[in-house]
Amino acid sequence: MTKWAFCLVIVACGSIALQAEEPDLIEALEEYYLFAPPGGGSISYRQIPVEERSQVLFVDTRTREEYQAAHIPGAMHIQWREVVERREELPQDRPIILYCNSGASSAQAMMGLHLAGMDNVRTLAGGFIRYLESQADSGRSGPDEGRTE
């Protein structure tokens, strides 16, 4: 198993403790964190220029039920645990913003995609919860409700 594949296994499992006898994994993580984007790769909805929002692919990483109940208009659904496995479905030539409810799960998915070589991926700061708050604050219409993929 390559150090990157092993690192992705660790990322997917989330809470596996690193051991001293795993220097390749530790080196891979050190390299990732050394070159991780400032701010951890997160961006708020308001920071995305309005004229550029149509170019962004939003990926909802929550459960299917949560996605079906409500999501950002035009968002694609891939549950966070499947994002790395299904990365071939994601474009390389446009920005991708992953989101979950709060930002925690989508951050794990983003890290996995970064380790898999995708550098056009960010997370939505505060997740879907903050997105809904930003829509309410701006008086804009809310998310798509009940729409499926």
The whole domain housing 124 covers 38-138
Length of the chain equals: 149
Predicted local distance difference test score (pLDDT) of residue 31: 75
Note whether 42 and 110 are same-domain residues: yes
Confidence of residue 14 (pLDDT cuts 50, 70, 90): very low
- Give the bridge partners for 87, in sequence order: none
pTM of this prediction? 0.74
> Would you name the residues annotated as active-site residues?
100
C-alpha neighbours within 13 Å on the C-beta side of residue 102? 2
Please state, rounded to an integer, the average pLDDT across all residues of the chain: 82
Note whether 116 and 88 are same-domain residues: yes
What 3-state DSSP class applies to 36? coil
Residue 143, domain member (yes or no): no
Q: What are the tens digits of pLDDT across the range 101-114? A: 999 999 999 989 98
